[in-house]
Amino acid sequence: MKRNLEPITYKADTKALAKFAKALAHPTRIAILNYLDKQSCCFTGDLVDVFPLAQSTISQHLKELKNAGLIQGELKSPKIKYCINQENWNTAKTLFQQFFE
């Protein structure tokens, strides 16, 4: 028997929440965000000094956070300075709060 199923459509907020949740799904990324929140901004090398991980691993985590829009990077040749994207961070907090209510 063939079922006539309607495709599921998601609201923009649902997609955004999933994107943020995926980025936060690793403890190192949460720790990086906590560190950035206290430091305002930092360079990749600063994070390598704080976390017992290789520079390439830190860079991959930063890339995931940046792709989700939770952080932003500014090129300060030859380095990149990272900080929290406050607008998207506030959006993420609001979406999570609404989800858990």
Q: Give DSSP secondary structure letters for 11-31.
A: -HHHHHHHHHHHHTSSHHHHH
The pairs formed by 26-29 with CB atoms below 8 angstroms and a separation of 24 or more are 26/61, 26/64, 28/53, 28/57, 28/61, 29/61, 29/64, 29/65
The overall average pLDDT reported for the chain is 90
Q: Which domains does the chain have, with CATH numbers?
A: 13-93 (1.10.10.10)
pLDDT 10s digits, 50-69: 999 999 999 999 999 999 99
Residues in the chain: 101
The pairs formed by 74-77 with CB atoms below 8 angstroms and a separation of 24 or more are 76/43
Distance CA 9, CA 7 (A): 6
Give the pLDDT of the chain (101 residues) as one tens digit per residue: 566 666 666 788 899 999 999 999 999 999 999 999 998 888 888 898 999 999 999 999 999 999 999 999 988 888 889 999 999 999 999 999 999 98
pTM: 0.85
